[in-house]
Structure 1
Amino acid sequence: MKTISEYDQDASLWIKKYLHHPTLSWWLSRINRGEAFALVLLPLMILSNKYAPLYISLPLVMITTFITDRFVLFLKKYFARKRPLISVMGKTDNNPDMKHSFPSAHSANSMVVGTLLVFGFGETPFFLLFSLFAGVGRLLTLHHFISDIVGGWIIGFLMGMMGIFALKYFYIYFH
């Protein structure tokens, strides 16, 4: 664990020195949100036959993402790891949710949705790029360490697979 923390710290210091920029951070914090992903996802789900019946697929995606988000928030409180913004940049924030870094909720939630879309509904694998962009964006803004992002992706993938098993059950049950 110590080796991972040292690697994370070194990588964040490198990002701070060579890649971190206030304007880029501002833009990434605006577009790297679940709301932006929902603007793409909702019309897709409504207009595509891949997600029929919508009364099963839409709640499944929403509930699986909600459960993932709650689980990640529990883990954040449990591990209580300081974010790079605090440990590397020296910033302070009175918001208690901003103090916890591991695992990344953005990475987990984007991966759970990507996993459901690609492996559950047969959507193009390009939807997994949303999760990649979410993770990289969180690294560049120094909201997370690399291990936070990878941990979020792993949790999101596993929760997405559990959602797919639920999807298969509901399709069998309702058809």
Structure 2
Amino acid sequence: MFALILLPLMFISDLYKPVYVSLPVVLIFTYGTDRLVLSLKKYFSRKRPLVSVMGKKDSNPDMKHSFPSAHSANSAVVATILVFGFGETAWFYFFSVFAGVGRLLTLHHFLSDIIGGWIIGFLIGLLGVGALVFLRLNLL
């Protein structure tokens, strides 16, 4: 959902100029967050609240672990970079809240999984903001 909103916004708005710098920063830090969260899920190996849907168990080993929430972490990293790196409105954090609440309602995560994902995403997002500031000072 974020991509449907973010990609057109990055090409239309002057906040994200030049896009050849801003888009890779968002993509690299989101990808890095996703890989870190996957590693943490395997390390903690916390079972999800719901391991079957409509009587069928998921055979994907990556889908059986819940801590931390990748949806929450990824949405928080993007929101943090948008708000603190590009000066977007803090309302973008509502996308992250919606992602977390949606994962709770569908019984894919515990509340601690969501909060852990938000914390990880926020911290990595701050690293992304730092990288963005560094690139702006040194490349532009």
TM-score bucket of the superposed structures, by smaller chain? over 0.9
Give the corresponding residue for 1:13: none
Give the helix-richer structure, 1 or 2.
1
DSSP 3-state at the match of 1:74? helix
User: Matches of 1:146 and 1:130 in 2, distance apart?
Assistant: 17
1:41 corresponds to 2:16: no
User: Matches of 1:137 and 1:113 in 2, distance apart?
Assistant: 17
DSSP 3-state at the match of 1:85? coil
| Partner AA of 1:150 in structure 2 | I
User: Matches of 2:101 and 2:107 in 1, distance apart?
Assistant: 10
Give the corresponding residue for 1:114: 79
Gaps of at least 5 residues in structure 2 are none
| Partner AA of 2:79 in structure 1 | G
Give the corresponding residue for 2:112: 147
TM-superposed CA distance for 1:146, in Å, is: 0.2
User: Matches of 2:114 and 2:10 in 1, distance apart?
Assistant: 27
User: Matches of 1:160 and 1:113 in 2, distance apart?
Assistant: 7
- The equivalent position to 2:35 in structure 1, one of 70, 86, 89, is 70
Deviations along 1:70-95, one digit per CA (max 9) or x if unpaired, are 000000000010000039x9963211
1:164 corresponds to 2:121: no
Gaps of at least 5 residues in structure 1 are 1-35
Give the corresponding residue for 2:50: 85
Q: CA RMSD for the aligned pairs?
A: 1.5
User: Matches of 1:82 and 1:98 in 2, distance apart?
Assistant: 9
Deviations along 1:82-135, one digit per CA (max 9) or x if unpaired, are 000039x99632111110100000000000000000111000111100000000
Check conservation: 1:64, 1:112, Cα contact below 8 A. Answer: yes
The correspondence of residues 89-100 of structure 1 with structure 2, limited to 5 A, is 92-100=57-65
DSSP 3-state at the match of 1:57? helix
TM-superposed CA distance for 1:63, in Å, is: 0.3
Give the corresponding residue for 1:103: 68
| TM-score scaled by length of structure 1 | 0.77
Aligned pair count reads 139
> After TM superposition, what 4+ stretches of structure 1 lie above 2 angstroms from structure 2?
89-92
- The equivalent position to 1:130 in structure 2, one of 86, 95, 113, is 95
User: Matches of 1:156 and 1:102 in 2, distance apart?
Assistant: 13
